[in-house]
Amino acid sequence: MKLSTLIPEDCSKAAVLFNSKKRILQYISELAQVKIPNANQHDILEALLSREKLGSTGIGKGIAIPHGRLAGLDNIVAILLVNQQPIPFDAVDDRNVDIFVALIVPEDENKQHLETLASIAGKLNDKHFCKRLRQASNDNELYQVLVEFDKQ
């Protein structure tokens, strides 16, 4: 799976600045709503918050993969954010998080959802890749990091 295909260029945001888990999830909901015109931002946020209530999606090493299921959705919507400062996110290793790959998935797509999560987590295991994501100073540069990584 190519990240640059999964995450559209306009959903790659570098150097954003949020100071709380709730605010970053709200921003993710705002971006996702543009890609899902028949859904409202509140429903998207509720899907993300409901999943977080089951356990944090902070996977460690400063990375989180917040995700939620949404009825009436045909395709996965993916968003990449890199926050300027790591923020508390209740990650499994108790480290603050600055890289967020968010997924909004169709309500009934279990297999594809799990495969996508596993693929993203695997790619984010690459320390050099994560370092380059963190170093991107603007949205275009961040997206180019994805494109270059996919060529490897």
- Residues marked active site are found at 67
- Taking a C-beta distance cutoff of 8 angstroms, is the pair 56, 91 a contact? yes
Residue 20: count other Cβ atoms within 10 Å of its Cβ: 11
Helix axes of 139-151 and 127-135: crossing angle, nearest 10 degrees: 160
- Taking a C-beta distance cutoff of 8 angstroms, is the pair 68, 52 a contact? no
- Taking a C-beta distance cutoff of 8 angstroms, is the pair 120, 101 a contact? yes
Residue at token pair 């100071």: 19
